[in-house]
Amino acid sequence: MLELRDVHVSYGRIAAVQGLTLDVREGELVGLIGHNGAGKSTTVHAICGVLTPSRGEIAFEGKSIRGKRPDDILRRGISLVPEGRRIFARLTVGENLRIGTSARRDRAEAAADVRAMTERFEVLGRYFDRPAGLLSGGEQQQLAIARALLSKPRLLILDEPTLGLAPLIVNQVFELLQGLNREGTTMLLIEQNAARTIDVADRFYVLRAGGRIDFEGTSEAARDAEEFQANYLGFS
């Protein structure tokens, strides 16, 4: 579904991603993990059209999206839950949700989908007419995920969805993502929480500083790799 081949992204003379190659197949939950500054968010921005790679190719469902505008990429079926959630705190929960349907033309069905989201995420229904800034961090993450789902994406990308959340809420977010994936949502999950990402992902990639792939595999492969466990899971 998504293919990155030999992708290079730079900020001026600073190379943030170098020779990145990865893929996401339909129905998978694929993780992309790494330490701060490894190039994870840069990779997301390149996929979503915020940055244009200096080299390499990005394709979605067999067609190049390299250099396309973010709104074009959204209409093609890629939706992003951005780092820090980026909800509109002064708008109501309902208004935030309706923003998620802005690229759709099926207005009646979109309105029905908004109602369905308030049933799935009960807190969004309770606060529907109240400012989204009143929600807790975990509730705001639910809103950000629901808003992204309302565009009816073929691929959902999540950039650090558990950042800054309490451990109990982190568990809830990962359980939510697993549930969505079981229902058929294809996902690329960008996370610092390596252990939890490995547990839920079908496959995962590890970025090291400079934006190069350091490890690729499944959770079973990671458990057998002593160097990986020492570097990323804190075991030796």
Joined tokens for residue 167: 């451990």
pTM of the model: 0.89
Q: Specify the residue for token string 């697993």.
A: 178
Question: What pLDDT is recorded for position 193?
Answer: 87
Which residue matches tokens 């690329």? 188
Q: What sign has the CA pseudo-torsion 44, 48, 51, 56?
A: positive
List average pLDDT for each run of 10 residues in the chain, which is 236 residues long. Answer: 96 89 96 88 94 96 95 94 90 96 88 94 95 94 94 95 88 92 96 89 88 82 64 51
Per-domain boundaries in the chain: 2-233
Question: Which amino acid type is present at position 61?
Answer: E
> Most distant CA pair in the chain: distance in Å?
56
Vertex 60 angle, CA 59 and 62, to 5°: 75
Q: CA 140 → CA 34, 41, 52, 153, 178, distances in Å?
A: 24, 20, 29, 20, 19
How many alpha carbons fall within 13 Å on the CB side of residue 97?
A: 26
Q: Which of 194, 236, 193 is nearest to 219 (CA)?
A: 194
Whole-number pLDDT of residue 236: 36
What pLDDT score does 215 carry? Answer: 83
Angle formed at CA 95 by CA 125 and CA 147, multiple of 5 degrees: 75
pLDDT of residue 105: 85
Which helix (H) or strand (E) segment holds residue 110: the answer is helix 107-120
What was the pLDDT predicted at 230?
59
The CATH number given to 2-233 is 3.40.50.300
| Phi, psi (rounded to 5 degrees) for 151 | -80, 0
What pLDDT shows up at residue 211?
A: 78
Q: Which pLDDT score, from 0 to 100, does residue 235 have?
A: 41
